[in-house]
Amino acid sequence: MSLSTTLQRWFPPQSDLSGKSILISAAAALVSVVLVGLASRQTLQGIAGPFLLASMGASSVLLFVVPSSPMSRPWPFVGGHLTAGLVGVSCAQLIPDVAIAAAVAAGGAILIMHLLRCMHPPGSATALLAVVGGDTVHRLGYQFLLSPVAVNVAIMMGCALLYWRLSQLMQQRSRRRPLETVIQRGEEKWLASGPAFSDEDLHRAMAEMDTFLDISRKDLKEIYTRAEQLAHGRQLGRLRCSEVMSQPVIAVEFGTELEEVWALLEKHDIRGLPVVDRARHVIGIVTVSDFVHHADQLPHETLAERLAHLRRRTTRLESDKPEVAGQIMTQPVLTAREDQPLSEVAQQFTANNIHHIPVVDAKDKLVGMLTREDVMAACDCATDKKPQNS
pLDDT tens digits along 123-166: 999 999 999 988 888 989 999 999 889 999 999 999 999 999 88
Alpha carbons 109 and 90: distance in angstroms, whole number: 11
pLDDT of residue 18: 75
Query: Does a cis peptide bond (omega within 30 degrees of 0) precede residue 148?
Result: yes
CB 343 within 8 A of CB 229: yes
Query: What residue type is assigned to position 82 of the chain?
Result: L
> Mean of the per-residue pLDDT values for the chain?
82
pLDDT of residue 51: 65
Report the alpha-carbon angle 97-99-105, nearest 5.
95
pLDDT of residue 181: 34
Pairing of strands 366-371, 356-360: antiparallel
CB 334 within 8 A of CB 357: yes
- Convert 321-347 to b/e letters by CB count within 10 Å (16 or more is b): bbbbbbebbbeebbbbbbebbbbebbb
Q: From the centroid of its chain, how far is CA 105?
A: 37
Pairing of strands 272-276, 252-253: parallel
Q: Identify the residue with better confidence: 147 or 90.
A: 90
Residue 114 pLDDT greater than 80, yes or no: yes
pLDDT tens profile 283-332: 999 999 999 999 988 887 788 889 998 999 888 878 889 999 999 999 99
Alpha carbons 113 and 91: distance in angstroms, whole number: 16
Residue 343 pLDDT greater than 90, yes or no: no
pLDDT, average across residues 29-34: 93
Domains defined along the chain, listed by start: 13-174 (no CATH), 191-314+323-384 (3.10.580.10)
Residue 222 pLDDT greater than 70, yes or no: yes
Q: What is the dihedral of CA 352, 356, 359, 363, to 10 degrees?
A: -70
Backbone angles phi, psi at 41, to 5 degrees: -65, -25
The three-state secondary structure class of 321 is coil
Q: From the centroid of its chain, how far is CA 205?
A: 10
CB 374 within 8 A of CB 244: yes
Query: What residue type is assigned to position 283 of the chain?
Result: I
CB 33 within 8 A of CB 57: yes
Residue 201 pLDDT greater than 60, yes or no: yes
Cβ atoms < 10 Å from Cβ of 311:
18
pLDDT of residue 376: 81
pLDDT of residue 372: 85
Q: Where are the alpha helices (DSSP H) in 210-280?
A: 217-236, 241-244, 258-268
Alpha carbons 222 and 226: distance in angstroms, whole number: 6
pLDDT of residue 379: 74
Confidence class of residue 192 from pLDDT cuts 50, 70 and 90? Answer: very low
